[in-house]
């Protein structure tokens, strides 16, 4: 079963911060795109890709920012992105691009990147894996990805490098302001994929890419199955109580019936997914030791502590208070024997 296309919240936070620096009310656009503003405090969280592009598409339509999306790589440090780390082992630009093709697609599975080497020129390209009718934000998405593709090439070719030829999926009407940043570049519009031409000699140029620490080094990669990606979408919402099936379906731009069908195809149910999430969060809170059992029960949406205790006992075999006591005993330093 195909996973939900996800985008890391760190990307949303970076974009929102840059928008606010330009006087754009990012919070309003986030809410309209069904993105909780609180997700900005959790950079390791994941969001449905469609929500992110709804966000940037609405900003683009409402604010007319022109070349803002192509400017992302220049105004933010792309070396903090999680997909950059494998590029640090590259010896040549060709190595770096091939590493990016693998790493970037893992972090942002909505896109597939590739390098096609022809006799006289190499094409570095991006193809959208998920094409859903009605998805907004195609021009910003294309410019945003192009900014990072250019940044990687410029690590070897210099900060002012531009391709002689560029193929884009958008029509010319979506790129008028951007062309000012691409002087002398021959742009071909309405193409099946985004692609920029690289002289063959550049592929063998030595490159040194240094990754910078991300906001959260321990963030997990996007799940590769539907159930796992659904869990990653829902986890940040647990702080406000478990979402209903209807709200989850709305977040995923689908219907409750389709959501139930996809879960059934993976051999599970909505109830099981929520139960697993609540149990995992309960264990995490008990291990942290900062919240009482009653506070944890309230956070997870239980009307009283007794209901939560019965739920936890069914899953763990012991009540939450006993689980916490076992954790405390296990973490206490061993006493020295009396001499």
Write out pLDDT tens, residues 112-164: 899 999 988 999 999 876 554 444 446 777 887 888 899 999 999 998 999 99
**DSSP label at 133?**
T
Question: In this structure, are residues 108 and 82 in contact, taking their beta carbons and an 8 Å threshold?
Answer: no
Q: What does pTM read for this prediction?
A: 0.68
Q: How far apart are CA 120 and CA 101, in angstroms?
A: 21
b (16+ CB within 10 A) / e for 142-176: bbbbbbbbbbbbbbbbeeeeebeebbbbbeeebbe
Residue with tokens 């809170």: 285
Write down the domain spans for the chain: 67-219, 226-331
* Angle, vertex CA 177, rays to CA 172 and CA 182, nearest 5: 85
**DSSP label at 203?**
G
pLDDT digits (tens, 9 = 90+) for 70-95: 766 666 677 777 778 889 999 999 99
CA 68, 73, 76, 82 torsion-angle sign: positive
Q: What is the CATH number of domain 226-331?
A: 1.10.10.60
Is the pLDDT at 194 greater than 60? The verdict is: yes
- Stronger pLDDT, 217 or 81, i.e. the higher one: 81
The reported pLDDT for the residue numbered 308 is: 94
Q: How far apart are CA 166 and CA 123, in angstroms?
A: 9
- Give 34's pLDDT tier (boundaries 50, 70, 90): confident
């Amino acid at each position: 079963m195909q996973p939900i296309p996800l985008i890391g919240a760190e990307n949303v936070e970076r974009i929102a911060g840059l928008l606010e620096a330009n006087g754009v009310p990012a919070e309003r656009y986030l809410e309209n795109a069904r993105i909780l503003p609180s997700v900005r405090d959790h950079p390791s969280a994941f969001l449905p890709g469609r929500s992110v592009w709804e966000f940037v598409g609405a900003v683009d339509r409402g604010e007319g920012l022109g070349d803002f999306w192509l400017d992302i790589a220049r105004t933010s440090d792309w070396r903090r992105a999680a997909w950059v780390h494998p590029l640090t082992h590259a010896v040549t630009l060709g190595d770096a691009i091939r590493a990016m093709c693998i790493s970037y697609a893992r972090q942002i599975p909505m896109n597939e990147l590739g390098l096609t080497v022809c006799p006289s020129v190499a094409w570095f390209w991006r193809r959208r894996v998920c094409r859903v009718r009605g998805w907004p934000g195609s021009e910003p998405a294309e410019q945003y990805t192009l900014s990072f593709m250019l940044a990687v090439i410029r690590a070897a070719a210099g900060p002012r490098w531009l391709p002689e030829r560029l193929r884009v999926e958008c029509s010319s009407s979506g790129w008028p302001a951007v062309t000012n940043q691409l002087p002398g570049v021959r742009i071909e519009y309405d193409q099946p994929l985004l692609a920029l031409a690289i002289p063959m000699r550049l592929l063998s140029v030595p490159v040194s890419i240094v990754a910078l620490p991300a906001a959260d080094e321990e963030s997990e990669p996007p799940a590769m199955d539907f159930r796992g990606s659904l869990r990653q979408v829902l986890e940040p919402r647990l702080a406000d109580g478990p979402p209903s099936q209807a709200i989850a379906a709305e977040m995923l731009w689908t219907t409750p019936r389709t959501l139930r069908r996809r879960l059934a195809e993976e051999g599970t149910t909505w109830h099981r997914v929520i139960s697993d999430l609540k149990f995992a969060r309960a264990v995490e809170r008990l291990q942290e030791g900062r919240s009482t059992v009653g506070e944890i029960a309230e956070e997870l949406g239980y009307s009283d502590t007794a209901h939560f205790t019965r739920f936890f006992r069914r899953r763990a075999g012991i009540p939450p208070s006993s689980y916490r006591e076992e954790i405390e005993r296990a973490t206490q330093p061993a006493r020295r024997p009396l001499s």
